[in-house]
């Protein structure tokens, strides 16, 4: 019996040694159809092709779950915006009913991407104020980030959730389906998300409600979240469904976040692969044209910290702004 145990242990040791080089990285995202799920798939392919790491994309129930998995060592990396990550670290905002998550670190700033409110092309609505009294998603049980994002868009024209007819929704993809089914008059979503093209085809075309891009509007938006901003997207740069003219969207800073249990070596490899392979990322989707290898990867934020492995890479490249 002892010999069998020793033999089993020896075989297990050989198996572990044989797979040690193929470390698997769990990458949590929202459900398929969401923009960060698509981002994760493309990033995963680049990292796998340029390193000895394997990447497993893991769709989960919502924003809080993506980061909780890192805190609890159930996954290694995720996509998050800087506001959510800061709230998670401190147990604030949508994370206020959860324990703080101090084991989260930034690997790099990914892109600034847009969030907007879409309506049917034949709805007659052309501006945000046309949403007053209309059926709009609220609640967001599985995607609590939907609340501040929607508040940010509406704040640009001095509106709040009190100005619309709220309809409770569970998550990001379900509310887009509800919009397509006619249960909602508007839908909050990222324009590059694959779901937008699907909905556009189902409803006979969509239109984005333009935000004003003025100092006054920006100031109102920043009252919702200090790192929110407004940016103009031009038609075809990159091509976005429903963007037929210069259109202003809410912009958020998207980060790749890691748990502190991720080794410095692994963090270094991921950052290096991204730094060196923008062309491969853009081949996956043109939105990565907004990813800038260099100092922008190491953009400093007051609310979150960088992973030591990432800092090591940035210092070697001479692009780390800190000491």
Q: Residues 246-296: pLDDT tens digits?
A: 999 999 989 999 999 999 999 999 999 999 999 999 999 888 998 999 999
Spell out the residues 6+ positions from residue 4 whose beta carbon is closer than 8 angstroms to its own: none
Which CATH code fits 2-113+254-317? 3.40.190.10
- Phi, psi (5° rounding) for residue 273? -60, -40
pLDDT tens readout for residues 3-39: 332 323 333 333 333 344 679 999 999 999 888 999 9
Do 2-113+254-317 and 114-252 show the same overall fold? yes
Question: For the domain 114-252, what is the CATH superfamily, name and number?
Answer: Periplasmic binding protein-like II (3.40.190.10)
pLDDT at 224 over 90: yes
Share of the chain above pLDDT 70, in %: 93
Instruction: Indicate the average pLDDT of the chain.
Output: 91
Output the pTM of the full model.
0.80
Residue 8 CA, chain-centre distance (Å), reads 43
Higher-pLDDT residue of 20, 300: 300
What is the DSSP annotation of 5-53? Answer: HHHHHHHHHHHHHHHTTS-EEEEEE--BTBHHHHHHHHHHHHHHHHSS-
Q: Domain coordinates of the chain in residue numbers?
A: 2-113+254-317, 114-252
Which tens digit of pLDDT belongs to each residue from 110-141? Answer: 998 899 999 999 999 999 999 999 999 999 98
């Amino acid at each position: 019996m002892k010999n069998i145990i020793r033999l089993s242990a020896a075989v297990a040791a050989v198996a572990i040694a044989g797979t040690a080089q193929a470390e698997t990285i769990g990458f949590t995202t929202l459900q398929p159809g969401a923009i960060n799920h698509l981002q994760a798939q493309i990033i995963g392919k680049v990292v796998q092709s340029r390193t000895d790491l394997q990447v497993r994309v893991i769709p989960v129930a919502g924003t809080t779950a993506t980061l909780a998995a890192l805190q609890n060592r159930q996954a290694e990396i995720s996509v998050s915006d800087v506001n959510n990550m800061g709230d998670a670290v401190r147990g604030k905002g949508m994370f206020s009913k959860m324990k703080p998550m101090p084991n989260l670190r930034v690997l790099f700033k990914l892109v600034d991407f847009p969030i907007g409110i879409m309506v049917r092309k034949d709805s007659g609505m052309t501006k945000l104020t046309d949403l007053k009294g209309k059926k709009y998603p609220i609640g967001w049980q599985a995607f609590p980030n939907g609340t501040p994002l929607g508040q940010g868009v509406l704040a640009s024209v001095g509106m709040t959730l009190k100005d619309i007819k709220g309809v409770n929704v569970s998550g990001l993809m379900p509310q887009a389906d509800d919009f397509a089914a006619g249960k909602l008059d508007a839908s909050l979503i990222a324009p590059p998300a694959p779901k937008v093209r699907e909905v556009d085809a189902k409803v006979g075309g969509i239109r984005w409600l333009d935000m004003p891009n003025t100092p006054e509007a920006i100031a109102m938006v920043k009252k919702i979240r200090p790192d929110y901003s407004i940016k103009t997207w031009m038609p075809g740069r990159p091509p976005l469904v429903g963007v037929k003219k210069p259109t202003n969207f809410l912009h958020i800073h998207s980060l790749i976040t890691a748990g502190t249990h991720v080794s410095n070596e692994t963090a270094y490899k991921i950052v290096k692969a991204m730094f060196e392979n923008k062309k491969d990322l853009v081949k996956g989707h043109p939105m990565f044209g907004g990813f800038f290898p260099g100092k922008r990867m190491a953009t400093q934020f007051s609310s979150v910290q960088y992973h030591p492995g990432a800092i090591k890479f940035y210092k070697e490249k001479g692009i780390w702004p800190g000491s």
